[in-house]
A and B are shown apart, each in its own frame.
Chain A
Amino acid sequence: QQPVQSPQAVILREGEDAVINCSSSKALYSVHWYRQKHGEAPVFLMILLKGGEQKGHEKISASFNEKKQQSSLYLTASQLSYSGTYFCGTSSNNNAGNMLTFGGGTRLMVKP
């Protein structure tokens, strides 16, 4: 079953923060986050594994709440280059071969 992402879309001014959520009805082993710009391939941001860890990547970080089967992506001090559609992809076990089930995406637009 597809994970649910919220919000579906968000508009920010440069420098503002945003949080994108990804919720699953199934127990999760891993959550992947990708960003896709219009007409381009999805680009990997980070992976979070079962264990409730938090990871950081420049001004983009993420958390994984295993009990709630949720992950959140945090974008701080947003830049114009952050614009795009963000997808979470989930896997339910470590033998799933990274066969990810992707959410419907969150469209982020950062304005000057």
Chain B
Amino acid sequence: DTGVSQDPRHKITKRGQNVTFRCDPISEHNRLYWYRQTLGQGPEFLTYFQNEAQLEKSRLLSDRFSAERPKGSFSTLEIQRTEQGDSAMYLCASSLMMGDSPLHFGNGTRLTVT
């Protein structure tokens, strides 16, 4: 169990640019989640995958956000035309498929939009 890894750890970008983050879940975990966390707040759900299928997406999620999980392994989260309000920590988590399985979080990607 090498844990959930995310890349990059930090990203600074200019408003209007596109960014892409990567998440590698724990290998035997079927479920993968993306959360966003701003300073002093709890993680906010963005989307989740079961294997390669994206099963749920937050209604609050802008169309500028897209996520993929090809082949049910790693996942990418892309933000197009970034805005200053997108600045946050983007957390990836994975879990087994059972309903009472804990989420294992990665260390996150901190995005700063200037």
Total interface residues in chain B, CB < 8 Å? 26
A102 contacts B43, C-beta separation under 8 Å? yes
B55 contacts A2, C-beta separation under 8 Å? no
Complex contacts, B50 vs chain A, CB 8 Å: 97
Interface string of B73-91 (1 = CB under 8 A from A): 0000000000000000001
Which listed residue, B42, B44, B91, B100, touches A41 by the CB 8 Å rule? B91
Complex contacts, B41 vs chain A, CB 8 Å: 104-105
Chain A nearest CB: distance from B27 CB in Å? 18
B31 within 8 A of A: yes
Which segment, of A11-19, A42-50, A73-81, faces chain B? A42-50
B45 contacts A100, C-beta separation under 8 Å? yes
B101 within 8 A of A: yes
Question: What are 19 A-B contacts with C-beta separation under 8 Å?
Answer: A2-B42, A30-B100, A34-B105, A43-B105, A44-B104, A49-B99, A49-B100, A87-B43, A89-B42, A89-B43, A97-B31, A97-B56, A98-B33, A98-B101, A98-B103, A102-B42, A104-B41, A104-B42, A105-B40
